[in-house]
Structure 1
Amino acid sequence: MTEDQIVAGLSRWVETESPSSDAAGVDAMMDLVVAEASAVPAIGIERVPGRDGLGGSVVLRTGPANEAGSILVLSHLDTVHPLGTLAGDLPLRRVGDRLYGPGIFDMKGGAYLAFQAFLSAARTGSGSHPLVMLFTPDEEIGSPTTRSLIEDLGREAAYALVTEPARDGGRCVTARKGVGRFDVEVEGRPSHSGTRHEDGRSAIREAALQITAVEGMTDYERGVTTSVGLVSGGTAANVVPQFCRFSVDLRVETPEEGVALTRAILGLAPIGPDVAVRVSGGMNRPPYERSRAIADLFGQARALAASVGIDLAEAPRTGGGSDGNFTAALGVPTLDGIGVEGDGAHTLEEYALVSCFVPRLRLMKALLTGLA
């Protein structure tokens, strides 16, 4: 494919807005995949219906029918950008080497290129492994409906390739932190803030104390971070609030830290008198650790990249999670961050570098057909 052909095809994907919460938009993206894959007879297509109000998934299969483990390609087609972003603050546009648009960097660009590489491999019949490509609808919200599908396909895989964005300079990812998500609900006692203030027990005050305790669990030396990103509570300015809720984001480097911090957060106890604290949640994504098998996979990938003129490097462990966390935790050698170069993920300045499209497509073709 030429650069212009990639830009045209990817633009159609970006113009189909697909926030995680919009099942119709995500399913429209899946329709685009199925329509193009249907034109290649060597590809088997399975549609997995969505549930819990989310869109469905698509599983594509091709390659030799042998006993070798598959190469599993993981791509998500949901984005964080709400409907209307394309017509508003982040229109599809090209400015020099940058192609802007909602979800183009994270991760429609990488998904599109991997799909084209998959189609090419199916047409030529090259490669020694069966190929499986999974498109999911819910990665941006923690993969609540697709984790089991990812893990089922992962158990049959020799390798997993994840088309999340490349890191600075086109570097791939060989390790990620684990991710925990928790919801905390505090209940106090309401009262009139002017006439009966002493009778009240402020849930917001208690939540503030709990948030300070949770944020204090951050330990950069151990690679542990805790963050409270959402808080809600209270009913009126003149009422001592009965309820307050907040969410906790946890990132850890090792399974042991995940267990310890999960225990600590779930064990939050009231600090003030006459209040109740209830905590739910747990580890959403296990840590993705750089094993010997992953190091060997990266060595293969680096050699294949060199054969198509790319000097592939790996990034340090990243704090963000992906569906690669699930396959890596199963012991499947997993290479992540093989998507497009660019910047601005999850922002209104999200873009992909057009100049990387053809080289990254060559890399993906080499990985799909050249891994031993």
Structure 2
Amino acid sequence: MIEDLRALVGIESPSRDLDALATSAKAVANVIESRLGGRATLVESPGGTQVRWSGGGEPKVLILGHHDTVFPLGTLERRPFTVADGKATGPGVFDMLGGLVQAVHGLAALDDLAGVEILVTADEEVGSRASRALIEERARACGAVLVFEGAADGGGLKTGRKGCGTFEVTVTGRASHAGLEPEAGVNALVEAARQVLDIAALGRPEIGTTVTPTVASAGTLDNVVPAAASIVVDVRVESAAEKDRIEAAFAALTPHLDGARISVEGSVGRPPMPESASAGLFALARRLLPGIEGVAVGGGSDGNFTAALGVPTLDGLGAVGGGAHADHEYLVVDAMAERADLVTGLVRAIQNEDHAMV
């Protein structure tokens, strides 16, 4: 597993870099084929090259992951793949190349791979717009989904996720000279400031809804009343009802200043993953690995899409470690074999239809 992980981390795969993603996809396909046999299919898409593989037979379980990472080209030179003190480090080891390696080696321990499908996408880190339709199609066909995102803190599985999305609010005002005739302008920055307060007030943290303005920009010169401003907002929700409420509230934003105009783009693009979607598969995991914890988390994954379809979905089956998206990202080496064994047991049980709970 360490050598396969070294091979994958050694090929940088930042989201939206189609050439890098094409090279990375070939490396992922090579690992799958060398360990499982058969042929992996490379699927081109506007978001990058995806990898598909099937063990044949009636589809029963989808192994779901992604090979794109958040790190720009050149990160590997500064932070090469390293194994030391029981940890593997390097860009993407935890999110989520380690999970892919564990999944493949867990499958390799099975005598029969009938009913198993693998889908490794190339745009998860940027919203999965190009891969969502294929993810949903294969999830429906298979009827159960195992997602190999990194484990929760302490190694727990991810049994629920918030829905998440991004909104961009654009304010259009009117420029004027800030000293000679400020009253002739419509100050987009002032309007944006008032909108930020309105937007932040939409949050209901007591029921899991967070609405967080994260990026703002306005103005051109210090002596010009700004004619334009923009606000980017991160949204997380735990229920479909809150998704609908938030989207309606953004659509209903109105200006405070006469002459200002507001436009809104965005949505809660990843629907919530309710814990009910993972209950059966998590119970099965606990039979195989007693004591493993289940955790609901705020971040989203492609498991949100499959769970929203009503397809049983269990997430966080990937690497034990931490530091996702950060320079201190790491994977705990000693946990890799146990997680691969869990994959073997889960897939064997699903193949044998020992999953009435799903």
Query: What TM-score do the two structures reach when normalised by structure 1?
Result: 0.90
Q: Residue 35 and residue 167 in structure 1: after superposition, are their counterparts in 2 closer, same or farther (change >3 A)?
A: same
Match of residue 149 from structure 2: 164
Match of residue 340 from structure 1: 319
Match of residue 204 from structure 2: 219
Per-residue CA deviation, residues 242-293 of structure 1 (Å, 9 max, x unaligned), is 11112111111110110011100121110122100000111201111122x6
Matched, 1:84 2:69: no
Match of residue 52 from structure 2: 59
Match of residue 241 from structure 1: 226
Which residue of the other structure, out of 46, 58, 62, is the alignment partner of 1:72? 62
Distance 2:35 2:337 in 1: 22
Matched, 1:320 2:299: yes
Distance apart, 1:46 and its partner CA: 2.3
Matched, 1:147 2:132: yes
Match of residue 269 from structure 1: 254
Contact persistence 1:72–1:131 (CA under 8 A)? yes
Q: Residue 48 and residue 185 in structure 1: after superposition, are their counterparts in 2 closer, same or farther (change >3 A)?
A: same
Tell me the secondary structure at the aligned position of residue 143 of structure 2.
Answer: strand
Matched, 1:366 2:341: no
For residue 79 of structure 1, what is the amino acid of its counterpart? T
Distance apart, 1:116 and its partner CA: 2.4
Contact persistence 1:182–1:279 (CA under 8 A)? yes
Distance 1:36 1:231 in 2: 43
Distance 1:132 1:255 in 2: 29
Distance 1:337 1:13 in 2: 20
Matched, 1:29 2:16: no
Distance apart, 1:14 and its partner CA: 1.1
Match of residue 300 from structure 1: 284
Distance 1:334 1:83 in 2: 33
Distance 2:119 2:193 in 1: 42
Contact persistence 2:158–2:316 (CA under 8 A)? yes
Tell me the secondary structure at the aligned position of residue 236 of structure 1.
Answer: coil
Matched, 1:96 2:89: no
Distance 1:214 1:43 in 2: 52
Gaps spanning 5+ residues in structure 1: where? 1-5
Gaps spanning 5+ residues in structure 2: where? none
Tell me the secondary structure at the aligned position of residue 175 of structure 1.
Answer: strand
Contact persistence 2:98–2:319 (CA under 8 A)? yes
Match of residue 125 from structure 1: 112
Distance apart, 1:114 and its partner CA: 0.9
Per-residue CA deviation, residues 118-151 of structure 1 (Å, 9 max, x unaligned), is 3443xx215xx60011000011111010110100
Q: CA RMSD for the aligned pairs?
A: 1.7
For residue 35 of structure 1, what is the amino acid of its counterpart? N
Contact persistence 2:36–2:108 (CA under 8 A)? no
Q: Residue 8 and residue 36 in structure 1: after superposition, are their counterparts in 2 closer, same or farther (change >3 A)?
A: closer
Distance 1:173 1:141 in 2: 20
Distance 1:57 1:266 in 2: 34
Distance apart, 1:39 and its partner CA: 4.2
For residue 13 of structure 2, what is the amino acid of its counterpart? S
Distance apart, 1:42 and its partner CA: 5.1
Contact persistence 2:216–2:232 (CA under 8 A)? yes
Match of residue 3 from structure 1: none
For residue 104 of structure 2, what is the amino acid of its counterpart? F
Contact persistence 1:171–1:312 (CA under 8 A)? yes
Match of residue 355 from structure 1: 334
For residue 101 of structure 1, what is the amino acid of its counterpart? G
Query: What TM-score do the two structures reach when normalised by structure 2?
Result: 0.93
Per mean C-alpha deviation after superposition, the further-off stretch among 160-169 and 226-235 is 226-235
For residue 50 of structure 1, what is the amino acid of its counterpart? S
For residue 112 of structure 2, what is the amino acid of its counterpart? G
Match of residue 43 from structure 1: 38
Tell me the secondary structure at the aligned position of residue 83 of structure 2.
Answer: strand
Tell me the secondary structure at the aligned position of residue 128 of structure 2.
Answer: coil
Contact persistence 2:35–2:104 (CA under 8 A)? no
Per-residue CA deviation, residues 85-108 of structure 1 (Å, 9 max, x unaligned), is 1222x3322331222111111111
Contact persistence 2:62–2:116 (CA under 8 A)? yes
